[in-house]
Amino acid sequence: VQLQASGGGLVQAGGSLRLSCVASGRTGSIYGMGWFRQAPGKERELVGSISLSGARTYYSDSAKGRFTISRNIRESAVYLQMNILKPDDTALYYCSANSRSYDLTTGFTHWGQGTQVTVSS
């Protein structure tokens, strides 16, 4: 499975961005998809994830109420709509796919190249 992410950029605090990720290759092996982020000097953290059908979602506490994850099964794509962005959201955002289990928080096995999100104050 290959993942291609896009949509990052520079935005002012309070603004919005929409990240997109398209999967290719053995997409039939994907149980779920998610977005992680990693800021300089910090560990990578799961921001949000979604099941294959889209019926189940998970959000980190920092993402709840501001971010929305969605997916298009036909296009093998996952999206992250980020609203009310804060400087603390500045990070490299990675798209990921889980081909190991239906768990929404562990077992992610495939990673995209990352897209930078920078939020200015």
Concatenate the DSSP letters of all residues of 62-109 into one string. Answer: TTTTTEEEEEETTTTEEEEEE-S--GGG-EEEEEEEESS-S-SSS---
Confidence of residue 59 (pLDDT cuts 50, 70, 90): very high
Residue 6: predicted pLDDT: 96
For the segment 64-120, what is each residue's pLDDT rounded down to a tens digit?
A: 999 999 999 888 999 999 999 999 999 999 999 999 999 999 989 999 999 999 999
What is d(CA 121, CA 110) in angstroms, rounded to the nearest whole number?
Answer: 33
